[in-house]
Amino acid sequence: MDPPSLLLLPRRPSMAAHHQPLLATLSALRSSTQQPILMVSLPAARRASWAVAQAALAQFYALVTVVCVELGMPCESDAGPGAVDVVALLVGEGDDGVEWEATVVRDERWLATREGGWGMVYYVDDEEGAEVMGRFCRFLPNYPWRLMAISPGLAAAAAAAPLSPSETSDDRRCGSSKSVCLGGTFDHLHPGHKLLLSAAALLASSSSSSSSSASASPSLLTIGVTVDAMLTKKQFATHIQPWPMRIAAVLSFLAMFLDLGTDMSKSSGAAAQQLLLSGGRVRVSCVELVDAFGPTVEVRDMDALVVSRETAAGGAAVNDRRADKGWEELELYVIDVLDVSGVAVGEEEGEKISCTAIRARRAAAVG
């Protein structure tokens, strides 16, 4: 497989300002002979709250959805040639010599020195974009990548909601939990899934110093993935990916989000259900989900549960069940909907990335 490509985005007053650079980049990638992976560097404050960080990711993945609909490009991770697999990364500016790797927001050195390099590095062709590109290249002056400048479009004139909403009263921090749980089907991994997984990964605890992290036990990120037997009555059920394929997609995505990619070929058997990521600070484990509660009512030692607005009621039910057992309630974290101010993901766009719509498209393709 070819190495992933990278899009470096500068700071903008709104997420909508990134529309044209993303459109141009995806247009350039659509002719690839295999489905390309595009990692996107989103500017972020290093100590962003969880609410602000996940909101930025929600806005970006909504923008990905809108642009892919405009281009007629599938955006699920297994769609093949003509599609694209986009992974958003939260990246802070510069390198201050502090333990960036111990935070969920990483530095530009981390990007520039990625093992295996980059297939193509795209940057925005204006003053702010050139500044980001210059900082990126200084870490490897004899950079081996191919570079491509992308038109900024009307970035400076874009008027929409701020990239990092400051009006939220939720100041809970990233990296605040030692044991985080979430659940889902994760069939044909798409932007909505990526937001949910990223938001959960943001909560994983991180050490503030390498000396303490060496002896500390890793945070746990437990992902309940619905078993095949529970999905037989879904629409177009014959096109649902088998459980091993779905957990492989989940683990592969998280490896890209936390570590810029991990060699999954070395995992087998039970080991294929879990990965140790982020320098040993986060252990990701996929387990079978056979009911609505999963490990949340089987394992007492959990801190947090990440849900969507559609499944928030299920989170309350989980805490009711834990209270019945005399256990502590899980702190609930509710992710944003996929919405970009000024370019909302409406019914048409939302339907095109739903699991049912993806399976329907594939069923139609095979007759």
Closest CA to 182 of 13, 307, 271, 345: 307
What pLDDT was estimated at residue 158?
A: 44
pTM more than 0.75: yes
The predicted pLDDT at position 205 comes to: 66
Let me know: does 122 contact 28? Beta carbons within 8 Å: yes
Answer yes or no: is 92 within a domain: yes
Chain mean position to CA 216? 25
User: d(Cα 345, Cα 98) in Å, to the nearest integer?
Assistant: 38
- The position carrying tokens 């694209």 is 84
- For residue 364, is it within any domain? no
Q: What is the pLDDT of residue 267?
A: 47
- Rounded Cα–Cα distance for residues 85 and 344 (Å): 21
Per-residue pLDDT, 102: 52
Q: Residue 37's pLDDT is what?
A: 94
Query: For residue 84, what are the β-bridge partners?
Result: none
Q: Residue 142 falls within a domain, yes or no?
A: yes
Domain assignment present for residue 107? The answer is yes
Considering the domain boundaries, does residue 367 fall inside one? no
- Answer whether residue 80 is part of any domain: yes
pLDDT, position 323: 97
Question: Quick check: is 64 in a domain?
Answer: yes
Distance (Å, whole) CA 360 – CA 332: 33
Q: Is 365 within the bounds of a domain?
A: no
How many degrees, rounded to 5, is the angle at CA 309 between CA 45 and CA 318? 105
Query: Mean pLDDT in runs of 10 for the chain (367 residues)?
Result: 90 89 94 91 86 91 92 88 93 60 73 88 94 87 81 58 52 88 94 94 66 66 95 83 94 93 52 82 94 94 93 94 96 81 44 66 72
Host domain of residue 64: 5-163+172-359
CA distances from 54 to 37, 49, 50, 106, 281 (A): 21, 9, 6, 15, 20
Domain count, the chain: 1
Q: What is the pLDDT of residues 265-305, one digit of tens each?
A: 444 445 569 899 988 889 999 999 999 999 999 999 999 99
Can you give the pLDDT at residue 362? 73
Q: CATH number of the domain that 51 lies in?
A: 3.40.50.620
Question: How many other C-beta atoms can be found within 10 angstroms of the C-beta atom of residue 298?
Answer: 9
Looking at residue 360, what is its pLDDT? 77
**Residue spans of alpha helices (H) in 216-330:** 243-259, 312-324
